[in-house]
Amino acid sequence: MARRSLFRAYSWNVNGLRSVVKKGFFDWLKTARADVVGLQETRVHPEQLPREVRRPPRWYTHFVAAERKGYSGVALYSRRPPASVETSLGDPAMDAEGRLQIARFGGLTVANVYFPNGSGRNRDHSRVPFKLAFYRRLFDRLETDRARGVPILVMGDFNTAHREIDLARPKQNQKTSGFLPEEREELDRWLRSGWTDTFRHLHPKARAYTWWSQRFNVRERDIGWRIDLILASPGAMPFLRAARIHKEVLGSDHCPISVDMDPAILEAS
């Protein structure tokens, strides 16, 4: 990794990696000054990707695909190779959906996560129990390291807007998955336990969104939801320098988000 003043990590739900590549993903990557990029909803198996996407020059990559084709999936692009990457929560149903990478870069742990949506195929709330179980299982998986001070970033599409400030129309969405009381309470539990929402910590009053419906030109009118987050453990917070939402970056129904960290985080123990 080239020396620079900050360590920058991005998270982006790309809504199909092959699709976003056609829309300029690598042009964006060339200018993003990223050290780590976590992608969600890649919807592809690595063998379906051309070599230049699977392993571009000067990048290390790692892919996790769902068993079901064209569904879910996560990917990591990094300037330095991770020391290790774990992809299992120990639950076959969860692991089959390809939603997790826990990578270690020196002293820093980065969890790239595509949290489940609570809506079922009939746009009901049938997947909410699975979604909350996934949250809790990941929480438990990270808790020992969090409690002993390991610097951890949990980044991804959380599929939950935490507070009314985090979506444009909270009153109309009280009964919509992604803003249900039980979903918001689970995020509250993470924050009460010591995790910090990096963007909200640095921008407490900002109304900024990361996802917009593809219907009715709502992105142009900025009627969105902030459901893409980067949470920092207590061990990571002293290194936080900036948190941003990159609304100007197109190619998906989500936009990228990022944090800048003091590079000393890589040597933290």
Residue from 36, 30, 33 nearest 11 by CA: 36
At 226, which amino acid appears? R
- Alpha-carbon dihedral 150, 41, 133, 226, rounded to 10 degrees: 80
What's the sign of the alpha-carbon dihedral 53, 59, 60, 66?
A: negative
Cβ-contact 38, 9 below 8 angstroms: yes
Q: Which spans in the chain are helix H? A: 17-22, 25-31, 51-54, 92-95, 128-147, 181-192, 198-202
Cβ-contact 106, 92 below 8 angstroms: no
Show which residues are catalytic.
Answer: 157
Cβ-contact 8, 29 below 8 angstroms: no
CA dist 101 and 98 (Å) reads 9
CA dist 216 and 169 (Å) reads 15
CA dist 114 and 106 (Å) reads 23
